[in-house]
């Protein structure tokens, strides 16, 4: 039965936003037809902005070593790499003295910071964090707070935890926006509590930075970590931006070329002195292409954030209104249905395995979503009502600059059809994931069989 969705979907006003690569990509369906791809998985990895692709193409002929070459191309790449630091500072509203350390992604950034905190630092964080922010902190000085019932409860819980923390350095690790529910955390209020107790704040901004402005000064945080692959710059670069004192005092995160000021022999030993700046934690040949891509994305988004926010809010209203009309669908929320959120929604559908839902959306409708526990197993399992169990999982839909109103319409119609009539094709579990039986969809020619 074909379901036509009408009144539940509010109209969307056209907003000018930066174009993305792949907006006209077509994918095959199991019935042998092809359809324009509906990418509703921006929270995992966002496509490149066209401006980012063009910037990378412009740089590639000049590609050369950074900081280590006298050749003109090396000088160009060194300048590009260093000017990107200034762009990142502006993008997150950093202080002039803040360090900008280029990393691979948010996970890399937070692991770096975890290595740099002074010995004995008391670390407080919520168990709702993404694994990138939850797992790097180990030992008896780490206190993990349970999922709060609301944003006000989060503030009270942090206040109590810091009041009980031992004397000495203190660090609060916060997420800016949940990668499970999209809900925006009360960062400024939590930071104010941290300040009263003399604590510093590290902010995981991976999910907020592509959707809203991030301002270190306005939020009063000490470090911000973010990823290029979520910021429409999927070229392998991220950044840790913030106070430099702990970073300067720490042993390098990686050791090797670029981190060293001098290396000499002393008998049978090697003596090393490390550079004092951000390069101390950037050993190895820098990913200048990824860094340039990240900086370009930040510049483009920084100029057009008003349009980005308006575009995503219109899509989110349309999406949530449509999902609310799907029988048996339950949206997950930490703080309640009316809490502010970015363009991320996770849900379950009664009687349907989340992996099967995702497989049907892909194979029969050309829609890409995420299913599972979203690298936030503790929080997602608790929201699903099965703390500690991985038996139940959820579907996550995330909108972004590549999303259109038609994509949302198609998703809602596909879910209503699936609930009413079940899958149109036959599916089976293959290596733990649902897939069409004898899947006829051809891979593109550049993808080769692994042997």
> Tokens 């050749």 belong to which residue?
71
The pairing of beta strand 170-175 with beta strand 122-126: parallel
Angle between helices 405-421 and 288-324 (to 10 degrees): 50
* Rounded-to-integer distance, Cα 73 and Cα 67, Å: 11
DSSP 60: G
> Tokens 């009263």 belong to which residue?
196
| Helical ranges in 169-287 per DSSP H | 187-196, 216-219, 245-249
State phi, psi for 242 to the nearest 5 degrees. 160, -160
DSSP 279: G
* Rounded-to-integer distance, Cα 133 and Cα 145, Å: 13
Active site residue 375: yes
* Rounded-to-integer distance, Cα 166 and Cα 119, Å: 13
What count of other Cβ atoms lies within 10 Å of the Cβ of residue 231? 26
Radius of gyration (C-alpha) of the chain in whole angstroms: 23
- Please name the residues in contact with 58: beta carbons below 8 A apart, sequence gap of 6 or more: none
Catalytic residue, from 375, 405, 424, 425: name it. Answer: 375
- Please name the residues in contact with 131: beta carbons below 8 A apart, sequence gap of 6 or more: 107, 375, 376, 377
The answer to whether the CB of 303 falls within 8 A of the CB of 365 is no
Q: Measuring CA to CA, how many Å separate 260 from each of 22, 197, 274, 277, 352?
A: 41, 37, 4, 11, 55
Instruction: Report the phi/psi class of residue 22: left, alpha or beta, with left for phi > 0 and alpha for psi in -120 to 50.
Output: left
Active site residues: 375
């Amino acid at each position: 039965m074909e379901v036509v969705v009408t009144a539940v979907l509010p109209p969307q006003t056209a907003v000018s936003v930066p174009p993305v690569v792949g907006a006209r990509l077509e994918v095959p369906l199991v019935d042998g037809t092809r359809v324009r791809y509906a990418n509703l998985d921006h929270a995992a990895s966002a496509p490149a902005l066209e401006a980012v692709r063009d910037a990378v193409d412009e740089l590639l002929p000049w590609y050369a070593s950074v900081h280590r070459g006298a050749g003109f191309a090396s000088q160009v790449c060194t300048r590009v790499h260093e000017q990107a630091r200034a762009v990142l500072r502006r993008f997150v509203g950093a202080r002039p003295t803040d360090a900008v350390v280029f990393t691979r992604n948010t996970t890399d950034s937070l692991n770096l910071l975890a290595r740099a905190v002074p010995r004995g630092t008391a670390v407080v964080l919520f168990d709702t964090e993404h694994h990138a922010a939850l797992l790097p902190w180990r030992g008896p000085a780490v206190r993990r707070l349970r999922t709060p019932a609301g944003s006000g409860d989060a503030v009270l819980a942090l206040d109590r935890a810091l009041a009980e923390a031992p004397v000495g350095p203190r660090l609060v690790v916060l997420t800016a926006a949940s990668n499970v529910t999209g809900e925006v955390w009360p960062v400024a209020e939590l930071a104010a509590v941290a300040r009263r107790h003399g604590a510093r704040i590290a902010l995981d901004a991976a999910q907020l930075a592509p959707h809203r402005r991030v301002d270190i000064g306005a939020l009063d945080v000490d470090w911000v970590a973010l990823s290029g692959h979520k910021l429409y710059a999927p070229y392998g670069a991220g950044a840790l931006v913030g106070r430099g004192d702990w970073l300067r005092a720490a042993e390098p995160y990686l050791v090797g070329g670029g981190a060293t000021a001098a290396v000499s022999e002393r008998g049978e030993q090697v003596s090393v002195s490390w550079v004092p700046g951000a390069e101390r934690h950037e050993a190895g040949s820098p990913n200048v292409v990824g860094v340039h891509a990240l900086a370009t994305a930040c510049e483009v988004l920084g100029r057009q954030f008003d349009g980005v926010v308006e575009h995503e809010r219109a899509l989110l209203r349309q999406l949530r209104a449509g999902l609310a009309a799907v029988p048996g669908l339950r949206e997950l929320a930490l703080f309640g249905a009316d809490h502010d959120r970015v363009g991320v929604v996770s849900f379950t559908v009664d009687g349907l395995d989340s992996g099967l839902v995702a497989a049907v959306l892909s194979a029969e409708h050309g829609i890409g979503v995420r299913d599972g526990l979203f690298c936030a197993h503790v929080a997602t399992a608790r929201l699903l009502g099965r703390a500690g169990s991985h038996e139940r999982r959820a579907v996550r839909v995330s909108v972004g600059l590549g999303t259109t109103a038609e994509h949302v319409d198609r998703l809602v119609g596909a879910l209503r059809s699936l609930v009413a009539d079940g899958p149109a094709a036959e599916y089976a579990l293959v290596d733990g994931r649902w897939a069409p039986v004898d899947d006829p969809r051809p891979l593109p020619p550049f993808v080769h069989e692994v042997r």
